[in-house]
């Protein structure tokens, strides 16, 4: 020990960041965190009124295994620039820590898992601002920290983050069972390619999952996996009490037992206690071992309670071992910590195989309360039962670097968007091609909008028409790398150089990674103080591959533009696997994501302009553009302001119906030519028929539902939804046909708005290869079928 009372690390010669006094204070804070997190769950299940009788739940044992780790991080290790994703079942621990820090209220803890209370799992949008990353969908909370680290690198290399914002560590607290999730390995591979920095994964290696105990020696597999992608790996198996025991005569055999004891046996012994430990250690140790007598003497030197304390003092429950491990990181290399822990540590449920969702009984909780020196009626007192002066604990908390954080959600200036996005006119084009040309024109014109756009794609950059943008803006990479083909003067349409200045992040074929990258990029302002406008492209049918990650990104309120193309059966020769069907319903049903499907290039330009603003609006969100590869003749027109407004509201009349018209055709997207042809064929017989272009079924539907809910509550004030206004000219008994290259339910609901009869056409089963004409005829979304459906009188 140094003269100033600090501890000297004999292995490195460095003075650790902590002293004996720090450890004493942190261990006392750990006791308070364990009590408050356990009590919060108990209160929700046993003391709060529950008129519906539905189980409240919670994970007292999963919380107990990470108390030491989170206490060390929040009260000693993390600084104001670090960001953390707390494993889902550790939510009460996080809330308890924020309660001690004054960032969480007692009322929220009392209402844990209740309406308006602290959330079951950490949530950026449902909890307070102290939550950096939502967790809950297993594995995604860990993986997003990798892409947050990549986003931080991107911003810093371009000088977008505030000058006083030092790089923070993106920290994930990961349950060992989360490593069964495939997206974990996808993210590790993709971010290895980008050489990410300042990322920590802290694995709670308690070796128990919901249904059982994890495989033996999993830690070795975990270590090899992280090392293979360039991570530093630090395994912390033994706590201070165990290390001290190993130094005594007989300690070698004790360590041998710990190393060789199967995970399930170790868990069972942790539940059974001291006498069981004593018997098992002696049974499993050969009687002819040279120092067997020393082992007997060592075990006899401990009472049963003391032996139990030693055997359960694994690395993740020893404050000194935890702090020592964190101190070992001296650079920005990504690091994986494997902390051995016991599920339910310090609780009566410790080690039991059924403890995942197990709850302490009232009698157990009362005994635990007394052991913690907590008086009845004072359970929520922050410093009740502490064994050190309260002022010293408060001083320890005040010194924590994390408390220097002035705000949890950073702000940046709004990116100005021009009133019109330039689109050189073409007589015939597709929406996918038009998207590429609009983006290319934004790049060519330059300015803040072009500079703040960042694109990303899972190995489909060229085939989703991002090529021209990347030619101008380049690939993002930590180091400069010239295009080899260009250097060798090999002709290629792609002239891609990689550098820190680049604005396109290329990913492997992993849709989960795309959406996690969009999630991190779409939170760049809040996390790092630099606003980006991310655009991600992929094939429309493969949205479903990453749907969990997309939902996760939207749940965090990440802002991005998702461009999905090609869509529907219109990409006919590709066959069923590449023909999307249900994606229009995703665009309607996914909260936080506003879906659009324009038919023409001028519609797309206006929607993209609106989208760049919507991504920055306080009440905005992410936007999804469902585009097509099908070239179409473009209408010769100049959009007026009202038509532009209606395009962004979700729909407008290409041909407005006469008053009390009895027939209309409603279409979306690539089937516009068929709808127009059907409407023209009906013109002689039904001269007043309308032709309605729906650019966003999602916006029309959401707006209608918003007004309907207000009517139920009596707060609508006579407001009309846009779709109600659009359908107002039609006669009460009018009939209209809806048609979409996608699931017909996306438009069929419109008949309920004013009680009209609807003939919905669309695609509801897998397609075949062929020409678009073949498949349109097969699915009855061709012009003749639209005409027939529009005229057919409803039965009854």
pTM > 0.85: yes
CA pair distance 206, 213, nearest whole angstrom:
9
Helical ranges in 284-430 per DSSP H: 292-300, 304-311, 319-327, 362-371, 390-399
CA pair distance 638, 678, nearest whole angstrom:
24
What was the pLDDT predicted at 546? 95
> Cα angle vertex 86, ends 82, 92, to 5°?
125
CA pair distance 346, 368, nearest whole angstrom:
9
More confident residue, 795 or 156: 156
Q: Which two tokens stand for residue 120?
A: 């079951």
| DSSP output for 504-526 | EEEE-S-HHHHHHHHHHHTTHHH
> Is the pLDDT reported for residue 115 higher than 70?
yes
What was the pLDDT predicted at 5? 36
On average, the pLDDT of the chain sits at 92
Q: What is the per-residue pLDDT across 157-181, written as a single tens digit (0 to 9) for each?
A: 999 998 777 899 999 999 988 888 8
Alpha-carbon separation of residue 258 from 233, 255, 355 (angstroms): 21, 5, 22
| Alpha-carbon dihedral sign for residues 632, 583, 541, 423 | positive
Q: What is the per-residue pLDDT across 262-321, written as a single tens digit (0 to 9) for each?
A: 888 999 999 999 999 999 999 999 988 889 999 999 999 999 999 999 999 999 999 999
Q: What is the per-residue pLDDT across 206-258, written as a single tens digit (0 to 9) for each?
A: 877 555 556 666 778 888 999 999 999 999 999 999 999 999 999 999 999 99
Q: What is the per-residue pLDDT across 494-521, written as a single tens digit (0 to 9) for each?
A: 778 889 999 999 999 999 999 999 999 9
CA pair distance 124, 372, nearest whole angstrom:
32
> Is the pLDDT reported for residue 576 higher than 80?
no
| Alpha-carbon dihedral sign for residues 425, 431, 436, 438 | positive
Q: What is the per-residue pLDDT across 48-82, written as a single tens digit (0 to 9) for each?
A: 988 888 889 999 989 999 999 999 999 999 999 99
Q: What is the percent of the chain with per-residue pLDDT over 70, rounded to a whole number? A: 97
The strand pair at 730-740 and 757-761 is best described as parallel
Alpha-carbon separation of residue 541 from 354, 364, 627, 721, 746 (angstroms): 41, 53, 12, 31, 16
Residue 537: asked if its preceding bond is cis (omega within 30°), the reply is: no
């Amino acid at each position: 020990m140094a003269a100033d009372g600090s501890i000297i690390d004999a292995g490195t010669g460095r003075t650790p960041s902590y002293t004996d006094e720090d450890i004493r204070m942190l261990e006392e804070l750990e006791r308070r965190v364990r009590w408050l997190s356990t009590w919060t769950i108990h209160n929700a299940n046993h003391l709060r009124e529950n008129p519906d009788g539905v189980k409240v739940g919670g994970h007292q044992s999963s919380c107990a295994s990470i108390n030491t780790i989170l206490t060390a991080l929040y009260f000693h290790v993390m600084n104001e620039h670090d960001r953390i994703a707390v494993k889902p079942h550790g939510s009460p621990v996080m809330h308890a820590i924020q309660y001690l820090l004054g960032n969480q209220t007692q009322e929220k803890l009392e209402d844990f898992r209740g309406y308006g209370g602290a959330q079951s799992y950490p949530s950026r949008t449902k909890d307070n601002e102290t939550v950096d990353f939502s967790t809950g969908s297993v594995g995604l909370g860990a993986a997003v920290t990798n892409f947050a680290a990549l986003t931080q690198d991107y911003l810093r290399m371009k000088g977008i983050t505030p000058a006083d914002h030092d790089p923070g560590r993106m920290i994930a607290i990961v349950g060992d069972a989360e490593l069964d999730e495939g997206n974990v390995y996808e993210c590790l591979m993709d971010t290895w390619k980008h050489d990410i920095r300042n990322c920590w994964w802290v694995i709670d290696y308690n070796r128990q999952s919901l249904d059982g105990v994890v495989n033996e020696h999993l830690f070795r597999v975990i270590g090899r996996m992280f090392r293979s992608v360039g991570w530093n790996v630090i395994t912390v198996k033994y706590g201070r009490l165990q290390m001290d025991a190993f130094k005594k005569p007989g300690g070698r055999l004790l360590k041998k037992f710990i190393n060789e004891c199967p995970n399930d046996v170790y868990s069972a012994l942790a539940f059974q206690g001291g006498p069981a430990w004593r018997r098992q250690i002696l049974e499993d140790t050969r009687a002819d071992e040279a120092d067997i007598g020393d082992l007997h003497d060592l075990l006899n030197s401990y009472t049963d309670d003391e032996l139990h304390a030693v055997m359960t003092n694994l690395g993740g429950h020893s404050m000194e071992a935890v702090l020592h491990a964190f101190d070992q990181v001296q650079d920005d290399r990504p690091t994986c910590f494997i902390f051995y822990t016991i599920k339910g540590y310090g609780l009566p449920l410790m080690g039991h195989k059924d403890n995942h969702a197990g709850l302490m009984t009232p009698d157990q909780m009362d005994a635990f309360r007394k052991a913690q020196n907590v008086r009845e009626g004072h359970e929520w007192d922050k410093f009740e039962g502490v064994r050190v002066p309260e002022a010293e604990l408060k001083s320890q908390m005040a010194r924590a670097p994390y408390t220097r954080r002035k705000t949890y959600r950073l702000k940046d200036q709004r990116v100005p968007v021009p009133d019109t996005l330039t689109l050189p006119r073409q007589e015939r084009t597709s929406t996918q091609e038009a998207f590429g040309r609009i983006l290319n024109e934004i790049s060519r014109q330059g300015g803040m909008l072009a500079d703040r756009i960042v694109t990303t794609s899972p190995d489909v950059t060229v085939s989703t028409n991002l090529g021209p943008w990347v030619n101008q803006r380049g690939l993002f990479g930590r180091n400069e790398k010239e295009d080899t083909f260009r250097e060798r003067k090999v002709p290629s349409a792609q002239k891609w150089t990689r550098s820190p200045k680049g604005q396109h992040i290329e990913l492997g074929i992993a849709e989960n990674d795309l959406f996690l990258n969009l999630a991190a990029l779409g939170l760049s302002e809040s996390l790092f103080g630099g606003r980006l406008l991310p655009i991600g492209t992929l094939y429309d049918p493969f949205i479903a591959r990453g749907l969990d990650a997309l939902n996760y990104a939207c749940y965090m309120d990440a802002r991005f533009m998702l461009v999905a193309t090609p869509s529907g059966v219109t990409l006919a020769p590709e066959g069923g696997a590449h023909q999307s069907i249900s994606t229009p319903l995703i665009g309607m049903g996914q909260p936080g994501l506003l879906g659009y499907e324009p038919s023409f290039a001028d519609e797309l330009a206006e929607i993209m302009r609106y989208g760049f603003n919507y991504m920055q609006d306080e009440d905005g969100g992410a936007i999804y553009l469902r585009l097509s590869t099908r070239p179409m003749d473009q209408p010769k027109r100049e959009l007026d302001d009202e038509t532009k407004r209606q395009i962004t509201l979700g729909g407008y009349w290409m041909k407005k119906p006469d008053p009390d018209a009895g027939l209309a055709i409603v279409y979306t997207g690539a089937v516009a030519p068929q709808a127009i042809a059907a409407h023209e064929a009906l013109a002689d017989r039904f001269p007043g028929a309308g032709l309605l272009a729906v650019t966003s079924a999602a916006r029309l539907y959401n707006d209608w539902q918003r007004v309907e809910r207000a009517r139920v509550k009596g707060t609508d004030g006579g407001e009309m939804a846009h779709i109600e206004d659009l359908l107002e000219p039609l006669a009460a008994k009018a009939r209209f046909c809806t048609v979409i290259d996608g699931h017909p339910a996306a438009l069929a609901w419109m008949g309920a708005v004013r009680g009209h009869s609807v003939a919905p056409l669309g695609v509801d089963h897998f397609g075949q290869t062929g020409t678009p004409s073949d498949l349109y005829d097969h699915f009855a979304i061709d012009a003749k079928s639209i005409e027939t459906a529009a005229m057919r009188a409803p039965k009854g």
